Amino acid sequence: MFSIDDTIVAIATPRGRGGIGVVRLSGPRAPEIARLLTRKNQPFESRRATVAHVIEPIGDAVLRTVDEVVVTWFEGPHSYTGEHVVEISGHGSPVLLEHIVSLAIGGGARLAEPGEFTLRAYLNGRLDLIQAEAVGDLIDAVTPAQARVAMDQLDGTVTAQISRVDALLFSLIAKCEACLDFPEEGFHFVEPSEVGSSLEAVRAALDALLGTASRGRLIREGRVVAISGRPNTGKSSLFNALLGCGRAIVTDVPGTTRDLLTERVDLLGVPVTLIDTAGIRASSDPIEQEGVSRARAARLTAEIVLLVLDGAQPLMDIDRQLLDETRGVPRVIVVNKGDCPAGWSIAVEAWASEAIVTSVVTGYGIDTLRSTLVREISEREECRDTPTLSNLRHIGLVESARDAVVRAGRALAEGATEELLLVDLHEARAHLEEVTGHRGVDDVLKHIFATFCIGK
């Protein structure tokens, strides 16, 4: 299903202009195509940067220079993909780079699919599936913690821990199989107590892996926070303050924000998707009505609601209604405009202890708001160690492996035969091998690599 015998090409650097842009070729014909593009008679020297010109014919015996480039050839298998790889660094203009790609295609290369370079690295055994997914996470990281977790996974921490558990399972399976092969020996090859303690060790190792998984997911995926409240309370002002830039329009006209505005921010290491929404009120304006219904929908899908009240104006029915509606869901209440004379008394309100007073004008309370949001987001998540697992696919499979091991333990306690135990043990191993990709399922691979961008 995945072909790896042709040569692929793509722009490996982000779209847009820059000092340098890189076109990457991978496959058996990569060096030959690079020589064709640069009209070089000599082979490139492996792992050495060579200045060259990409040249194209524009008529009979007339050649034109397309770009001055630096060519680096990585002779397979000592390359990212494990195949011959050529990187052509040209000037970072999308027009030039696309031109170089089209010349490479004319020379016999095929445009790479999203993630195909990393897919080839996996298929050629340069990376396992966990590491290949970590490449995607590393590229997508928006917080230092995300980058750290992804780099650890690329370094092989998860792979090493899974391999250790797999080795324990393997030796247990071998012993149980031996008992089956020589039935007259009974439990001669392994005593039930030894099977029991091995199963216990495997379960403990899987528990250790899963112990930091929810924090790992938090770091990888972050949380969605919707800013809600009636018009003019300062929602967009707070959105901008948390973002550190003037992303949203702020005016003193109630009903300024209509559409949802979504931005990713790093809140003390936690990636948060902040959504600014329209102020909630009854309106006859169809545009505002649509904004309000989107605001309500965003609040329902968000994991946390940041409810903004105006400290300078008396509380209104709509504020009380929003306070009621958000009771029982994770929320942070903000009483904004703390720099103005108070329009009402917070102290008498039942939820006063929950509220944070802020002022976007003076910056008062914004740091407290940040730390309160992070606390609300990461509640019950212990923060000490760098988590090992973070990817939902890995977590689900490790949980299934653990379930199978627990089932085996239960079966053993009930005096089950090795044959029955082996069913669960094989299942546990199969789940672990699916994590590392040693047991690959084509459509899983397709799904994983489709989330990459082209050139990775």
Ligand X SMILES: Nc1nc2c(ncn2[C@@H]2O[C@H](COP(=O)(O)OP(=O)(O)OP(=O)(O)O)[C@@H](O)[C@H]2O)c(=O)[nH]1
Q: What are phi and psi of 20, to 5 degrees?
A: -130, 145
Query: Taking the mean position of all CA atoms in its chain, how far away is CA 439?
Result: 22
* Tokens linked to 346: 């917070």
- Residue 236 interacting with ligand X (CB under 6 A): yes
- Residue 240 interacting with Mg ion (CB under 5 A): no
Query: Taking the mean position of all CA atoms in its chain, how far away is CA 201?
Result: 30
> Quick one: DSSP state of residue 44?
P
The residue whose two tokens read 């239960």 is: 410
Q: Which of 236, 240, 388, 391 lies at the binding interface for Mg ion (CB under 5 A)? A: 236
Select from ligand X, Mg ion, none the partner in contact with residue 252, using the beta carbon and a kind-dependent cut-off of 5 to 8 Å. ligand X
Pairing of strands 110-111, 223-228: unpaired
| Residue placing its CB nearer to Mg ion in the complex, 250 or 267 | 250
Question: How many CB atoms are closer than 10 A to CB 289?
Answer: 14
| Residue placing its CB nearer to Mg ion in the complex, 13 or 256 | 256
**Closest approach of ligand X to the CB of residue 359, in Å:** 4
Distance CA 147, CA 136 (A): 10
| Residues whose CB falls within 8 Å of the CB of residue 351, separated by 6 or more in sequence, listed in order | 323, 333
Contact predicate 88/107, CB 8 Å: no
| Residue placing its CB nearer to ligand X in the complex, 219 or 278 | 278
| Residue placing its CB nearer to Mg ion in the complex, 288 or 424 | 288
Distance CA 350, CA 392 (A): 39
Q: What are phi and psi of 231, to 5 degrees?
A: -60, 150
Binding-site size for ligand X (CB under 6 A) equals 24
| Residue placing its CB nearer to Mg ion in the complex, 236 or 372 | 236
Distance CA 276, CA 349 (A): 26
- Residue 257 interacting with Mg ion (CB under 5 A): yes
Select from ligand X, Mg ion, none the partner in contact with residue 336, using the beta carbon and a kind-dependent cut-off of 5 to 8 Å. ligand X
Residue nearest to ligand X (CB): 279
| Residue placing its CB nearer to ligand X in the complex, 310 or 434 | 310
- How many distinct helices (H) and strands (E) make up the chain? 15, 12
Select from ligand X, Mg ion, none the partner in contact with residue 21, using the beta carbon and a kind-dependent cut-off of 5 to 8 Å. none
Distance CA 68, CA 148 (A): 36
- Residue 336 interacting with Mg ion (CB under 5 A): no
- Residue 146 interacting with Mg ion (CB under 5 A): no
Select from Mg ion, ligand X, none the partner in contact with residue 204, using the beta carbon and a kind-dependent cut-off of 5 to 8 Å. none
| Residues whose CB falls within 8 Å of the CB of residue 137, separated by 6 or more in sequence, listed in order | 146, 149, 150, 153, 220, 390, 391
Task: Show the binding pattern over residues 278-307: x = contacts ligand X (CB under 6 A), - = does not.
Answer: xx----------------------------
Task: Show the binding pattern over residues 357-376: x = contacts ligand X (CB under 6 A), - = does not.
Answer: --xxx---------------
* Tokens linked to 308: 């903004």
Distance CA 442, CA 1 (A): 8
**Closest approach of Mg ion to the CB of residue 204, in Å:** 51
Q: What are phi and psi of 277, to 5 degrees?
A: -130, 165
- Residue 228 interacting with Mg ion (CB under 5 A): no
What's the angle, vertex CA 294, arms to CA 293 and CA 295, rounded to 5? 90
Query: Taking the mean position of all CA atoms in its chain, how far away is CA 310?
Result: 36
Residues 240-269 that bind ligand X (CB under 6 A): 250-252, 254-257
**Listed ranges 188-196, 228-236, 368-376, 377-385: which one lies at the site for ligand X (CB under 6 A):** 228-236
- Residue 400 interacting with ligand X (CB under 6 A): no
- Residue 337 interacting with ligand X (CB under 6 A): yes
One-letter amino acid at 279 equals G
- Residue 26 interacting with Mg ion (CB under 5 A): no
- The end-to-end CA distance of the chain, in Å, is 19
- Residue 231 interacting with ligand X (CB under 6 A): yes
**Listed ranges 22-30, 217-225, 232-240, 345-353: which one lies at the site for ligand X (CB under 6 A):** 232-240
**Listed ranges 95-103, 169-177, 233-241, 446-454: which one lies at the site for ligand X (CB under 6 A):** 233-241
**Binding residues vs Mg ion (CB under 5 A):** 235-236, 256-257
**Binding residues vs ligand X (CB under 6 A):** 229, 231-237, 250-252, 254-257, 278-279, 336-337, 339-340, 359-361
